[in-house]
Amino acid sequence: MRGARATVGAAIPDSVRPGRARRPAATATTVALALFGGLLLAGCQTAGQGFGQAGDIDRSAGSEVNIASLTAVVERNPDDASAYNVRGSAYGRAGRLNDAIEDFNTAIRLNPGFYQAYANRALVLRRLGRDDAAFQDYNRAIQLNPSYDVAYVGRGNMYRQRKQFDLALADFNRAIELDANDPRAWHNRGLIYQAQQQHPRAIDDFSKAISIAPSAGEPFNARGLSHLATGDFRAALDDFNEVVKRNKDSFEGWTNQGLALERLGETQKAFAAFARASNLNPNYRPASDGMRRTSAAGGVAFNNQG
């Protein structure tokens, strides 16, 4: 079992928030864990993936039809900063990041106090790898509106990526104080507790995120990993089942499901899960390693089917 690896829960970005307009996706990272019984959960950084990111964004909002409609609004209202901010968000969802930056720049020029535009621009700057500029924008958004929880979540994620956990915790705690119904703040704080091996606290935060945003798979994935780390393999399997139920193309979810099944001794099912993951992403080593470890049981299952 040594050397098995699981994909750790990704961050909840600023684009998914119940009751609010979606924003461009933030970059997500993973954290490393040591798993009960010697199973290693190795954190690998995954850019552009996570709760509310590439897979969760409402792509219709970034469609050509929607952008054309928003462009018409801009043309009718060339001095309306909000119009540029909305179109910039649509450009971000469509992956037209430079166009998004240009619109946010215009929105800020028209309204220098537009703190939402600063936070939105920070999200896109992060996707472009311009972290220093993104930090400046988050700081400016907070300076303009110290009660804007979205900016604390975004900046907290950047601190978390840099392993500046105390600063990240302070930002997530502040975000939760400002809005206790923001699933991103709970999820991302949970990732910090998870990285610090404080799994009971992490599980509590992931559970809170799930209660607020039950359709998202990432909090289930993260909670499952903490269940694995504490040896509760059945609870972990239940969570990973929820992950693949929500996203059947999640090779990380199938891999982690395989790990839970493997720990439960259900090696034939584990092999099938690893094989599903490997089929989705042939280059994902944790899945191929899992197949090798469980190949004997999997081969028996396949032969019986034949």
Please state the rounded mean pLDDT for residues 261-266.
97
Averaged pLDDT score across all residues of the chain: 82
- Per-residue pLDDT at 59: 44
- Per-residue pLDDT at 62: 59
Of 2-6, 71-75, 131-135, 184-188, least confident by mean pLDDT is 2-6
Please state the rounded mean pLDDT for residues 10-19.
39
Q: Is the pLDDT of residue 56 over 80?
A: no
Count Cβ atoms within 10 A of the Cβ of residue 241 and give its class: 0-12 exposed, 13-18 middle, 19 or more buried.
middle
Q: Is the pLDDT of residue 281 over 60?
A: yes
Please state the rounded mean pLDDT for residues 209-221.
97
- Per-residue pLDDT at 264: 97
Q: Given the DSSP bridges, would you call strands 33-34 and 40-41 parallel, antiparallel or unpaired?
A: antiparallel
Q: Is the pLDDT of residue 73 over 90?
A: yes
Q: Under DSSP, is residue 114 helix (H, G, I), strand (E, B) or coil?
A: coil
pLDDT bracket for residue 61 (50, 70, 90): low
- Per-residue pLDDT at 51: 53
Of all residues in the chain, what percent carry a pLDDT higher than 70? 76
Q: Is the pLDDT of residue 175 over 60?
A: yes
Candidate ranges 8-17, 53-62, 63-72, 131-140; pick with highest mean pLDDT: 131-140
The secondary element (H helix, E strand) that includes residue 121 is: helix 115-127
pLDDT tens for residues 216-237? 999 999 999 999 999 999 999 9
Return the half-sphere exposure (C-beta side, CA atoms, 13 A cut-off) of residue 239.
26
Q: Is the pLDDT of residue 3 over 50?
A: no
The secondary element (H helix, E strand) that includes residue 215 is: none
pLDDT tens for residues 99-127? 999 999 999 999 999 999 999 999 999 99
**What domains lie within the chain, and their CATH numbers?**
232-301 (1.25.40.10)
Buried b (16+ CB within 10 A) or exposed e, 40-70: ebbbeebebbbbbbbbbbeeebbeeebbeeb
